[in-house]
């Protein structure tokens, strides 16, 4: 059980890619879900709350981030938990450490992803993401999110985000229709039931299912080598097959 972390001594954890992203695609992760992470047998793995804030109700039973966090909890939860506590309790320090890391490794980092696990916790965090992107114009930053209310609020208050910060709105069953998301990108779930979605450019990392509604499989294409969804912040829509 990893319930409490010493905030005074905590440092952020940044990963240099994984088997899907590929090496060289740096990323920082927060805890997924809405509350403490608990195994099916009732074992509490951490009392630090996840950052998804209620937007994951549709996908909570098939969330890859939650699955991987629980499967590899000895490594994931301490790192994600410390990142999460720092982001929530000492946001300025959190982004200072990201800035320091990028400055120190400016010749290595070409692409940086926010949140292979977790979500944008609040507006101030998203403002911090944009400031980092502005400070490092030669780095591609990107994320996926369902926190459409934060995106909408930012646009109303501050206008457009930095061109090197690509935000992919996770579109699923019409969940984006109630928000003004003009200018942001869209990453659309293709479950085989919508012929219009089938016409969109698709993520190259997942093959088409053999049958409509079936599950596609990994193609071996790494995100670092593709860049279809993180190179441009221009309002485009890209789909991903059910997998």
Residue 34's pLDDT is 76
End-to-end, the C-alpha distance of the chain in Å comes to: 31
pLDDT of residue 52: 78
Taking the domains of the chain in order of start, what are their residue ranges?
13-174
Tens digits of residue pLDDT in 79-107 = 888 999 999 999 999 999 999 999 999 89
Instruction: Name the phi and psi angles at 165, rounded to 5.
Output: -110, 105
| pLDDT exceeds cutoff 60 at 224 | yes
- Out of 90-99, 143-152, 158-167, 224-233, pick the least confident: 224-233
Residue 41: pLDDT over 90: no
**Taking Cα atoms as reference points, which of 212, 205, 209 lies closest to residue 64?**
205
* Mean pLDDT of all residues in 50-62: 65
Cβ contact 161:150 at 8 Å:
no
In this predicted structure, the answer to whether residue 205 has a pLDDT above a threshold of 70 is yes
Task: Compute the distance between CA of residue 169 and CA of residue 84 in angstroms, rounded to an integer.
Answer: 21
Q: pTM of the full predicted structure?
A: 0.89
Residue (of 172, 197, 56) closest to 117 by Cα position? 56
- Angle of helix 64-71 relative to helix 73-89, nearest 10 degrees, comes to 120
Which range of 11-15, 81-85, 156-160 scores highest in mean pLDDT? It is 156-160
Other Cβ atoms closer than 10 A to 129: 22
Q: How far is CA 19 from CA 31, 78, 219, in A?
A: 19, 20, 12
Q: Is a pLDDT exceeding 90 seen at residue 37?
A: no
């Amino acid at each position: 059980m990893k319930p409490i972390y010493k905030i005074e001594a905590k440092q952020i954890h940044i990963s240099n890619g994984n088997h899907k992203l590929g090496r060289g695609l740096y990323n920082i992760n927060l805890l997924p879900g809405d509350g403490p992470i608990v195994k099916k047998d009732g074992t509490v793995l951490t009392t630090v709350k996840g950052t998804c804030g209620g937007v994951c109700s549709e996908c909570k039973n098939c969330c890859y981030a939650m699955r991987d966090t629980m499967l590899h909890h000895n490594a994931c939860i301490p790192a994600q938990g410390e990142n999460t506590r720092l982001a929530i309790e000492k946001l300025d320090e959190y982004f200072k450490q990201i800035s320091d890391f990028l400055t120190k490794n400016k010749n290595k980092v070409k692409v940086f992803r926010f949140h292979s696990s977790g979500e944008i916790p609040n507006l101030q965090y998203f403002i911090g993401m944009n400031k980092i992107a502005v400070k490092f114009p030669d780095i591609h930053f990107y994320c996926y999110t369902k926190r459409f209310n934060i995106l909408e609020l930012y646009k109303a208050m501050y206008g457009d985000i930095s061109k090197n910060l690509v935000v992919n709105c996770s579109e699923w069953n019409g969940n984006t229709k109630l928000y003004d998301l003009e200018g942001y990108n869209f990453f659309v779930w293709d479950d085989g039931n919508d012929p219009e979605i089938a016409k969109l450019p698709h993520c190259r990392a997942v093959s088409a299912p053999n049958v409509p509604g079936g599950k596609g499989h990994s193609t071996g294409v790494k995100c670092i080598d593709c860049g279809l969804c993180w190179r441009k912040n221009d309002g485009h829509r890209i789909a991903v097959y059910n997998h």
